[in-house]
Structure 1
Amino acid sequence: MLVKKFNSTFAVLHILLILYMTRLSSQSESLTVTKSQKQKLDKFKEAVETIKFPQEWMKDDLNLLRYLKARGWDVQRAKDMIQETVKWWKDYGMDNIHNEDWSQYERSDPYQIDGVDKEGKPIMLYALGEWDLRQAAIQGRLKTLVRWVIKGTDEIHRKTRDLFKQGKINGTQWSLIANIDKFNSQQHLSLDSFDAALNIFRPLFTPSSRKALKVFSSNKETCLAYLLAKIDPDQLPEAYGGTRHYD
């Protein structure tokens, strides 16, 4: 039964997976709030005044609104949530994550974040099917690989915050495209590496991002038509129907 379940699940992975995702919902983020919501925001800002935030952007209204919305505008629950985030940030060493030596992963498990969609929102591209997860597991690098993904996620968050401050986008939404159509038995066909692949991206699957999930079969024409309707060719690599070239 386990093998049958794995084989059927593994078959689903031979696809091109598109996550046209947002951090909160499929609608644009906005600082526009009602009068009562503004009062909640002001109360929340007072409640978190004593928290020592490791990053200045964590105190921005847009970020605070995320926590309020995620906790149904309950100030205490939102405060508890943001305190957990601050603790995780410090415990996980996020302030130093971009200063670490990632040269091995830049070669073996690359991602790109330099493109934008037609609305100007950043795009994150993972060629997950080309990552050798089995080798990473054998070498004991899976935890570091997860950290590499988190580093990339923080990097694109930085980019979206900068674009928002420049007035180029409304909110801090971004899109993730994960190509896993090259999964093969040599590099990926094991329960451990399969579970590892899911665990790497599981933190990104919030309820709102699951609603925005688009999954395509191996019919590349359908997939590329969808991509090119959302993203200009010069913002996509050649493998995705675009004209952008990476060495």
Structure 2
Amino acid sequence: MGRNIYSLVLLLYFQISLQISLDEFVSLTSSQKDALDQFRDAVSSKLPHDYMREDVFLMRWLRDQKFDVSRATSRLLKDVQWREDNDIDHILQEDWSDFDREYRVLVEGCDKSGRPVLSLPVGDWDLRRAIVAGQSDRLMRYFSKLFEEAAMVTRWFQKNEQRAVQATMIFDMGNFNLIQQGCARCIPIFVHILAVYEQHYPNFAHRVIAINTPELALPIYDIYKSILSRDVTDMLHIFGRNKKEWQQFLLEEIDESQLSKNLGGKNFETLDYGDFRGLNTSLYSCAYLNFLRN
């Protein structure tokens, strides 16, 4: 039982992710600007894509390492190698249709600051089924694919003059089952999710909100909360089964027109990640999400 609860805590615990607007993200002091210039000079020739040379991308790594150019350089180049070793550039072209149906990620709309809002019905994910079927490695790769896809969504928003460098993520634990999601063999999957986020997609999450969390997990979070930094506790919000409580919090951050009904909003439908494929990404914006949903 202890290891099962620990796996739940791992799922909900994300590393520090600064909550910041695009203007704040690229607004620099003189010394920070010098660090950015040094960082760019150190890595530009080794980056395989143009978007990686843009300030907003480079700043993710600098801010993650508190503007230590040497450490940021090491982290970013390790990420480039990881992408090459795991063929991340082509991960979205692989056939994920079976896992997309089983482990859905939904795009709700935008929060009140124009950030994309993603909801993940974790309680519906049967991790154990994939593990028993010998698909653990593919499942871990699938979650890497989800991060890559989410990062692309934010880049599309930026290209269309949407002021978003981060996303709000809602984890719905409503149907969480210790057998299907909390098994001992599920723990490496959770560890992989956390490792990929921390090492390869720093500063992606503005808010991480868990709702319908099993009551037996809440006291454990209360223990962890006392040793977490202010940055983490400001970003991470965990709610139990009290629907009124978590809906009130969501609606403070996100207008009801941007949420599905099961989350306290007005929309009957949400957009699946899969709905994005083949669409005109040059139109990506909060207004475009509303158009697609309606």
**TM-score, scaled relative to structure 1:** 0.83
Deviation, structure 1 residue 189 = 5.0
- Equivalent of residue 74 in structure 2, options 42, 55, 80: 80
Residue 216 of structure 1: aligned partner: 239
Q: Indicate the residue corresponding to 1:31 in structure 2.
A: 26
2:106 maps to amino acid:
Q
For 1:40, the equivalent position in structure 2 comes to: 35
| Secondary structure of the structure 2 residue equivalent to 1:149 | helix
CA contact (8 A) 1:157 1:172 kept: no
1 CA distance for matches of 2:52 and 2:243? 40
3-state SS in 1 of match to 2:250: helix
One-letter code aligned to 2:48: P
C-alpha distance 199-157 of structure 1, shift in aligned 2 (>3 A) = same
Shift of 1:27: 3.1
Q: Is structure 2 residue 194 aligned with structure 1 residue 202?
A: yes
Deviation at 1:147, TM superposition (A): 2.0
TM-score with structure 2 length normalisation?
0.71
Aligned twin of 2:89? 95
1:95-152, Cα deviation, whole Å (9 max, x unpaired)? 1111000110121111112521111101121101101111111012222222222222
Q: What residue number does 1:126 align with?
A: 120
1:218 and 1:108 map into 2 onto residues whose CA distance is: 24
From the superposition, tell whether residues 245 and 209 of structure 1 become closer, same or farther in structure 2 (CA, over 3 Å): farther
Q: Distance in 2 between matches of 1:55 and 1:7?
A: 40
Distance 1:37 1:186, change over 3 A: closer
1:241 aligned partner, one-letter code = G
Q: Residue 265 of structure 2 aligns with which residue?
A: 242
> In the alignment, is the contact (CA less than 8 A) between 1:54 and 1:90 conserved in 2?
no
Determine what percentage of the aligned residue pairs are the same residue. Answer: 29
Cα distance in 1 for partners of 2:15, 2:161 equals 18
Partner amino acid, structure 2, of 1:177: I
The residue matched to 1:115 in structure 2 has which SS?
strand
1:182, CA displacement in angstroms?
0.8
CA gap of 1:138–1:32, structure 2 versus 1, over 3 A, is: same
Paired residues of 1:126 and 1:177 also in contact (CA < 8 A):
yes
Matching residue of 1:183: 176
In structure 2, the residue corresponding to 1:30 is in which secondary structure? helix
Deviation at 1:22, TM superposition (A): 9.7
Structure 2: where are the runs of 5+ without partners? 203-228, 271-294
Q: In 2, Cα distance between the equivalents of 1:220 and 1:229?
A: 14
Alignment: residue pair count: 236
| SS of match in other structure, 1:218 | coil
Q: CA deviation at 1:25?
A: 0.5
Gaps of 5+ in 1: none
Checking the alignment, whether the CA contact within 8 Å between 1:23 and 1:173 is kept in structure 2 is: no
Structure 2 counterpart of 1:75, one-letter code: V
1:8 Cα deviation from its structure 2 partner: 5.5
Report the CA distance shift for 1:38/1:141 in structure 2 as closer, same or farther (over 3 A): same
The 8 Å contact of residues 5 and 182 in structure 2, kept in 1 or not, is answered as no
1:105–1:30 CA distance, 2 compared to 1 (3 A): same
Residue 50 of structure 2 is matched in structure 1 by 56
